[in-house]
Structure formats: C-alpha cells, structure tokens
C-alpha cells in the first residue's frame, strides 16, 4: 500500500538502533508481516533498496516472515485462523469476522556488524 513510507519507517528505526548500539552496517534485517497488513512484498523490497541508500542498511538482505491472520467470528464467537480477509469462518461458515491479528508490520531483529 504505502511501501515507501514503510521503508522510511524502517530507515528511521535502523538509524536509531545504530546510534543506540553503535553498529555501522546491517547485514540482514528481518521483518514480520501479518497476512492482513496489506503489504506488497515486491514493492517493499524495491522501496527498501532505494530508501536504505546512504544508511547502515544499504545493501542489507531483507527477509520477511509471514504471520498468520486471525479473526473473531461474530456468529460463533470463536477466534479462527483465516488465510484471506474475506473468507467465511472455517468453523461455522459465518461471514462476519473482525481481524484480531495479522496486521503486524514490525522489525523483528537485525544482524549487524
């Protein structure tokens, strides 16, 4: 959706971490991306390469870890795993579900030198 803004958010966190931990280079940066986060991975990879130029994360490898999407079903009251935002409840077939997770977009860790 707004992968450029997300890449800028990553850059800002990298710079903060570099100041805090005194490293000069990021080798690998791992992100956790929820299934409902709406992140286009190829677009984020492209934005990452462009936005990290001139930062410690320039040239870093970007790894993205998928997190499952969960939703609360308003018909059966259970929290269920969903692969698609608009899928029906796998338990009762109900159609009214509200996401309970899966919108995460966070930096998990960085391998630095």
Partner 1 sequence: MCTVCGCGDTVTADGKVMSHDEAHRLGLAHSHAPVFQPAAPALPFPHVQAKGLSPHHDDHHHYGTGPAGVSVPGMSQARLIEVETSILAKNDSIAVANRRVLKALGVLALNLVSSPGSGKTTLLCRTIEALGDAPLAVIEGDQQTSADADRIRATGARAIQINTGKGCHLDAQMVGHAIDDLRPRPGSYLFIENVGNLVCPAAFDLGEAAKVAILSVTEGEDKPLKYPDMFTAARLAILNKTDLAPHCDVDLDLYEANLARVNPTIEILRVSARTGEGMPAWLDWLRARLAEAQS
Return residues touching partner 1 (CB under 8 A). 1-2, 5-6, 9-10, 12-13, 16-17, 19-23, 27, 31, 36, 38, 74, 85-86, 95-99, 103-113
The answer to whether 60 and 44 are in contact (CB under 8 A) is: no
| Smallest distance, partner 1 to C-beta of residue 54, A | 19
For the bound state, the minimum distance from the C-beta of residue 51 to partner 1, rounded and expressed in Å, comes to: 12
Nearer to partner 1, 15 or 53 (CB): 15
Length of the chain: 113
Are 51 and 10 in contact by the 8 Å Cβ rule? The answer is: yes
Residue with tokens 């990452």: 48
- Nearest distance, CB of residue 50 and partner 1, angstroms: 13
* Distance of alpha carbon 73 from alpha carbon 59, whole angstroms: 43
């Amino acid at each position: 959706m707004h992968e450029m803004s997300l890449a800028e958010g990553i850059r800002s966190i990298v710079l903060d971490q570099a100041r805090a931990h005194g490293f000069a280079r990021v080798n690998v940066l791992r992100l956790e991306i929820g299934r409902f986060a709406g992140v286009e991975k190829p677009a984020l990879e492209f934005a990452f390469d462009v936005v990290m130029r001139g930062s410690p994360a320039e040239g870093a490898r970007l790894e993205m870890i998928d997190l499952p999407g969960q939703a609360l079903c308003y018909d059966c009251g259970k929290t269920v795993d969903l692969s698609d935002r608009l899928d029906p409840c796998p338990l009762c077939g109900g159609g009214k579900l509200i996401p309970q997770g899966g919108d995460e977009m966070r930096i998990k860790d960085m391998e630095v030198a």
